[in-house]
Structure 1
């Protein structure tokens, strides 16, 4: 976490300096503070959920269904779980990280993240309304194999490297 933090600090400083020359740095900082105030409660709750998930998931369940030993079963569950995560990255990633910390395999976690990005079934009603069922079916038909394939590739990499 240190490198991403340092990167964002440097980018923020550069942007503040650039905007201070134009007199807009205060407006940018106020806007950022408003955004932080809006998402901070969600982030705090997500981290609490992540901690609870990490503690509450039984080791036996993780080993049987989510760990490297689960193989393709874990990849399928990761794909299903990721498609059901209906929240932004500030809430999803702490939860996914806690599942990983609880012992989930690399393939499971990669398929979970891919499904969260590509499937997002919470978007389906909007997609159907704006683009119609043919588009939704086509997108899902393309996305599901990619999620599964990514999980399988990650699982094989985990088997080779670890």
Structure 2
């Protein structure tokens, strides 16, 4: 229901913008389309991978690997996967929701999302170039440790 309200509000505001300044509105829509085109390949690949994973793994398997029953092993596994994965946040959160719906545990998903957003194994070479090796490794280690604190807090709140 909320989606319909937001879509309706967007349509009304877009119409008002169009009547106020057609040129700026058209330019904004072109920029939005370009941004969408740039994001689409990443988005489709991640959706494809998640869809494939959900097709190959049933809810029971997901629950065993990163479900509530997997405990700290699942948290560690999820945090390791999150550390080496490079997925934008706008894709990661819907993907996390799909995983939770299919049996993943809240602690495990909290660890996955927090390491995904804060730890950058893939981006380390660039970070080392600008911030130095010591700062990069220190930041990544602190972020990795913090992901376990986040998982523990989520586990205490949700359970």
Where on the TM-score scale, by shorter chain, does this alignment land: which range? 0.7 to 0.9
Q: Is the 8 A contact 2:60 2:103 kept in 1?
A: no
CA deviation digits over 1:52-92, x for unaligned, max 9? 11121255543333111122222211211111111223443
Q: Tell me if structure 2 keeps the 8 A contact 1:72–1:152.
A: no
Q: 1:45 to 1:134 in 2, by over 3 A?
A: closer
TM superposition score normalised by structure 2: 0.81
Report how far residue 17 of structure 1 moved.
3.5
Which residue is equivalent to 1:54? 54
Match of 1:134 in 2: 134
Structure 2, unmatched stretches of 5+, are none
2:104 counterpart of 1:104: yes
Task: Name the residue aligned to 1:83.
Answer: 83
Q: Flag structure 1 segments of 5+ consecutive residues without an equivalent.
A: none
Number of residue equivalences:
158
Tell me the residue number matched to 2:69: 69
**TM-score w.r.t. length of structure 1:** 0.80
Q: Relative to structure 1, is the Cα distance of residues 120 and 20 closer, same or farther in structure 2, using a 3 angstrom cutoff? A: farther
Is 1:21 the equivalent of 2:29? no
**Are the structure 2 counterparts of residues 8 and 128 from structure 1 closer, same or farther at C-alpha, using a change threshold of 3 Å?**
farther
Distance in 1 between the 2:20 and 2:156 partners? 51
SS in 2 for 1:103: coil
What is the root-mean-square deviation in Å for CA atoms of aligned residues? 2.6
Question: CA contact under 8 A between 1:51 and 1:98: conserved in structure 2?
Answer: no
